[in-house]
Amino acid sequence: MNIAAASQFTHGLRVFFPAIAVLAWFVAWWAFAATAVVIVFTLANRQFNSRARFVAQGAMARLQGKD
């Protein structure tokens, strides 16, 4: 149950951030473009350079004996 809730929360966050860029569309098209680029880089950084990811990769390597 907790795993399903955490998954839904993660999906909700991934939808919330692009919604900010859509709101910038009401300012101007260039504000939408700039906000979208910033949000994509921010989400990519959070996804691929997070401490939790590095900890999980280290744990997986230890479990597989690649330590």
- Tens digits of residue pLDDT in 2-40: 777 777 877 877 788 888 889 999 999 999 999 999 998
Q: Is the pTM of this model over 0.75?
A: no
Give the model's pLDDT for residue 67.
Answer: 62
Overall number of domains in the chain: 1
User: What is d(CA 48, CA 59) in angstroms, rounded to the nearest whole number?
Assistant: 16
Could you tell me if 35 and 24 are in contact, meaning their C-beta atoms sit under 8 angstroms apart? Answer: yes
CA-based nearest residue to 23, from 34, 14, 8, 12: 34
Domain that holds residue 41: 2-63
Give the model's pLDDT for residue 45.
Answer: 87
User: Which tens digits make up the pLDDT trace of 44-64?
Assistant: 888 888 888 888 888 988 889
Q: Could you tell me the two tokens for 26?
A: 């009401």
Predicted confidence band at 43 (pLDDT cuts at 50, 70, 90)? confident
Q: Which residues of 14-29 are buried (b: 16+ CB within 10 A; e: fewer)?
A: eeebeeebeebeeeee
